[in-house]
């Protein structure tokens, strides 16, 4: 009955609004996206450790920026980047059991910036897409991990995965799993590079969807070639 985990997302929020929301050190240059698919670039917020000068000046948070990375985590030890297509999601239940995710949980955490994501419900032979978003349309953050892969040629690819958990209402009505939405109160701790205790970090990963609503949209979103505002329009308007 239930067909897939989080495999498409949207981010059309103006960059200056993202800068204010995430406390970024600069305004990112981003193009509005309405149908971000695996293996494509997706925006993540990362934080580097503070420098000695920043610590001395009581600015110990470190620089926080948005980067576009490939969606589908490619572990550093991978022989082929194609493995990333199978690692777009990471189950919270097995983060500490799988070496690529366990290492990233300790050292390479991120926030995946979105203003919506899609889930599909199987209705007999038909798969109905739904946009999941905040009622006020504001952007929000999904819990993510990232890694850096170096090709034999020397090329470097940064990539990420979205952490998922069993669904909470109202998503339970259409899907058995959902990406973990990270509330702003937990962002500092999740991004803090000095925090490495797995139990403490797992305690931040709770699946909640109190502020999210569902909207059925056109099956145009099924094709990654379609990436325009019609993808997020209510089905009655398409």
DSSP run (H or E) holding 111: strand 109-114
Residue 62 region by backbone torsions, left for phi larger than 0, else alpha for psi between -120 and 50, else beta? left
Following DSSP, what letter does each residue of 12-48 receive, concatenated? Answer: -S-HHHHHHHHT-SS------EEEE-TTSEEEEEEEP
Tell me the C-alpha distance between 162 and 173, whole Å.
21
Catalytically annotated residues: 6, 119
Tell me the C-alpha distance between 132 and 165, whole Å.
15
From the CA atom positions of the chain, what is the Rg in Å?
A: 18
Cα 1-169-226 angle, rounded to 5 deg:
60
Q: Classify residue 142 by its DSSP letter.
A: E
């Amino acid at each position: 009955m239930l067909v897939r985990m989080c495999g498409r997302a949207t981010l059309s929020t103006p960059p200056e609004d993202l800068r204010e929301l995430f406390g970024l050190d600069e305004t990112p240059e981003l193009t509005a996206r309405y149908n971000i698919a695996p293996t494509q670039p997706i925006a993540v917020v990362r934080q580097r450790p503070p420098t000695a000068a920043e610590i001395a000046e009581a600015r110990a948070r470190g620089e926080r920026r948005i980067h576009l990375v490939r969606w589908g985590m490619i572990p550093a030890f991978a022989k082929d980047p194609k493995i990333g297509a199978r690692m777009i999601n990471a189950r919270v239940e097995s983060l500490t059991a799988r070496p690529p995710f366990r290492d990233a949980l300790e050292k390479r955490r991120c926030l995946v910036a979105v203003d919506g994501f899609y889930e599909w419900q199987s209705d007999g032979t038909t798969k109905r897409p739904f946009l999941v978003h905040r009622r006020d349309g504001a952007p929000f953050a999904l819990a993510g991990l990232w890694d850096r892969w170096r090709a034999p040629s020397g090329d470097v690819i940064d990539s990420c995965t979205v952490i998922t958990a069993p669904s909470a209402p109202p998503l339970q009505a259409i899907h058995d799993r959902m990406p973990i939405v990270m509330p702003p109160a937990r962002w500092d701790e999740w991004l803090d590079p000095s925090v490495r205790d797995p139990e403490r970090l797992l305690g931040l990963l709770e699946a909640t969807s109190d502020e999210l609503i569902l909207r059925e949209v056109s099956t145009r979103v099924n094709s990654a070639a379609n990436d325009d505002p019609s993808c997020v329009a209510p089905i009655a308007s398409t």
